[in-house]
Structure 1
Amino acid sequence: MATPRETILTVLHARLSALPATALRSEVLPERVPAEGLLILRDGEPGEPEVTLSPLAYHYQHRAEIEAVVQGADRDAAFDTLTASIGSALATDRTLGGLCDWVEAEAPRPADLPIEGAASLKAAVIPVVLHYSTADPLG
């Protein structure tokens, strides 16, 4: 049986996989970026939980990261479309089917990355804060 943390990350990856861009999880950046863009979900850091004792519960503000990458002549528009689609996908259900108390993405900080002999990449890391509680920090 998967832990609540793993279940949440799996559902978040599934939500991203429904977008037109290729969605990977914890993979290295491939040599080629698909025309629709590329998303790589990183597990991130659960951070220090707040603890309540009765009943015992650990309340996390887990910071996962989505690496968003586009390439091509119209990078700015493609990047804008890609990030907007991530926001829409998260806004459809901010609890990921009741697994989280709240899910919210933070604003990206895009950067243009030159590639020798190819079109530049436009990329950003988009932090996604997952608020959830669990009875065991390891389970």
Structure 2
Amino acid sequence: MTRLETIIREVEARLKVGLDADVKRGVSIPSRIGNSGLVIIRDGDPGDPDVTLSPLTYHFDHALELEIFADGASDRFTRFDVIKEQISTVFAADRALGGLCDWIEAEAPRQEDLPVEGGATIKAAIIDVVVQYATADSVG
């Protein structure tokens, strides 16, 4: 398994434990969001690595994406805020993911309200999670 895949699986495992929301990876956005909210992990973009020689090492600043959704007419703002806070807490607890990466940090969310025909809007955001890691292979 590549370093990147190992990191993504660890991020998923930690979010599943640390969030009260449902956490899924790479799924389509469902038509209904549960009361607890939903976080979808997208593999994101590794960008262009910096390369050092002797030994050959590729240094990535890979941006994973977390799509956050909170539904419910009365409490979606509170639920949304709780999910964001829990994400921050998960990453702040161990910035190196147990040695899998050099640093992990969530950036500020890009927020929007998604209209729903005949219902309350869904509070949504994308949070880029930048993972800095090094590997001997450019594939990740």
- Identify whether the pair has TM-score above 0.5, normalized to the shorter chain: yes
Find the residue that maps to 1:42 and give its secondary structure: strand
Q: TM-score, normalised by structure 2?
A: 0.95
Matched, 1:7 2:6: yes
Instruction: Specify every segment of 5 or more residues in structure 1 that has no aligned partner in the other structure, as ranges.
Output: none
Q: Amino acid of the residue matched to residue 16 of structure 1?
A: L
Report how far residue 30 of structure 1 moved: 1.0
Matched, 1:97 2:98: yes
Report how far residue 23 of structure 1 moved: 0.3
Q: Amino acid of the residue matched to residue 49 of structure 2?
A: P
Matched, 1:56 2:56: yes
Which string of whole-angstrom CA distances, capped at 9 and with x for unpartnered residues, describes residues 35-91 of structure 1? 111000000000100000011100000000000100112221111111000000111
Matched, 1:128 2:129: yes
Alpha-carbon separation, structure 2, partners of 1:44 and 1:14: 17
Alpha-carbon separation, structure 2, partners of 1:49 and 1:112: 34
Report how far residue 22 of structure 1 moved: 0.3
Aligned twin of 1:69: 69
Q: Amino acid of the residue matched to residue 32 of structure 2?
A: R
Report how far residue 138 of structure 1 moved: 1.9
Q: Amino acid of the residue matched to residue 123 of structure 1?
A: A
Structure richer in helix, relative to its length: 2
Following TM superposition, where does structure 1 have runs of at least 4 consecutive aligned residues deviating by more than 3 angstroms? none
Q: TM-score, normalised by structure 1?
A: 0.96
Find the residue that maps to 1:138 and give its secondary structure: coil
Find the residue that maps to 1:13 and give its secondary structure: helix
Aligned twin of 1:79: 80
Q: Percent identity between the aligned chains?
A: 51
Matched, 1:34 2:34: yes
Report how far residue 5 of structure 1 moved: 0.5
Report how far residue 118 of structure 1 moved: 2.2
Give the number of equivalent residue pairs: 138
Alpha-carbon separation, structure 2, partners of 1:118 and 1:97: 43
Alpha-carbon separation, structure 2, partners of 1:75 and 1:132: 35
Find the residue that maps to 1:123 and give its secondary structure: strand
Q: Amino acid of the residue matched to residue 12 of structure 1?
A: V
